Structure 1
Amino acid sequence: MEEEEGRGRTVCVTGGTGYIASWLIMRLLHHGYSVRATVRSPHPECKRDLSYLTHLPGASQIFQADLNQPHSFNEAIQGCTAVFHLAHPMDTDQAKEPEETVTRRAVEGTVGILKACLENKKTLKRVVYTSSGAATILYNDKGLSVSDENTWSELDVCRSSKLVSPSYLVSKTVVEKMALEFAENNGLDLVTLVLPPSNHDQYECLVNSYMVHIDDVANALIFLLEYPHAQGRYICSSAEITIREMFDFLIARYPEFQISIPG
């Protein structure tokens, strides 16, 4: 039955080589969608193995596109019924590039994608943008014990955070806000999915964090495409779990792998 849901519908997934995107592509194909995946042009000396995408049952079409060239996504989006936007500059190495450079690339690339979506409104029904907990958890103490869809990170707190690269934290927050505003101002149907937030710093996240299974993320993204009344922002978070609890779960669930706890 799942295979019939997307039959005859073509969707575009940006950032197709990413972990979430590649899993989403697999699930979309399973649901019967035709998929166009965008990937960055590889360096001439570095040939990328994309067989994990091209060898999937039903296979996905591969298009080269780069956020540095906003118009490069036009061909992949043309004629699609939906776009899943996951491509984003990722710099976890304490900002090799200035924050302004990373944010400008992310914003201009996303604007280019959204403009291409507007040009294809006759066929395109919805855009689903994948955000991050980085856009919800970094704010000055306001007595908030729970982050929800109305909670936004503050840019000054993002810049001083050691969670990951400040440029990533700032750019994810700025891009999601911009995308929602662009969609509202231009009559574009867009929803955003925020991946699990955490209220911990970089090291506490290694011990205790909010997690969600990759399959649940993919299913949530597909649900937001297919559910006609979806709108605005949604947080995708399953449960808070410690590393010890994760080990105990995996040991009990998969005894054949002989998983041991370090130390």
Structure 2
Amino acid sequence: MATIRIHTTQNVTLEYEVASVGDRIVATLIDYVLLLAWGILWAVIITSLARGGHESDGSTNWGGLTSIITVLFFCLIFAPYIFYFLFSEIFFNGQTLGKKARDLRVVRLDGTAPRVGDYFLRWLLRLVDFGIGGGIVAVVAIAAGGKGQRLGDLAAGTTVISLRPRPARAADLPGPAAPAGYQPVFPQAADLSDHDAALLRQLLGRGLQQENYVVINETASKIKQLLGVQTDLPDEAFLRTVLRDHAYLLAQE
């Protein structure tokens, strides 16, 4: 599966797997099924109201609903079909319910959080991506680009990544030496003893190999408490960075 590297504002490079075309199709189908269920639900409700308001003389009584209330009522029904994808990604941090079910998320290629304008561009260009050929434009763009970007992503500078953890390899763990020109992110890593660093490396490697992310989370919490640092980095990225910083700072002594 293709991967992308995102360099964050904290001078940390994170590597993610690009969401596959298949995963994105399944996520979209889940979203459309939910929208279909929404329409069926309201069809049942409206049918029940119509039957309940049917008078003995055959006329239909809508309970005195005014025209304004009727318009608002139908706006409530049809608004999700128009704005579902836009509002879901804005309020659910780059995820629709379908993306959440498939562990996918929208991210920016420059490492910053997507802005409302980015989500708006993605939503606006859905008309092209999915309105022509039933989504064939989006599929071709994603498959051809290499970064998992449909036209909306290209315009917004975003892509969709998979949040599923990848199996770890020993070579993935930070080596004993930091790369040339490395700039430490957490200077507090110098406070770790060699024993602490070795134990941290062991726990991280074991947690990744066994896919035990509870251990990784607990280890990250302990290290944050020990070093007195606060960060929004994911647990694995934080621990890798601490190990790199420790190796670099140790070499400077």
TM-score by length of 2: 0.21
Structure having the higher helix fraction is 2
Q: Which has the higher contact order (CA 8 A, sep 6+)?
A: 2
The structure with more radius of gyration: 2
TM-score (norm 1): 0.21
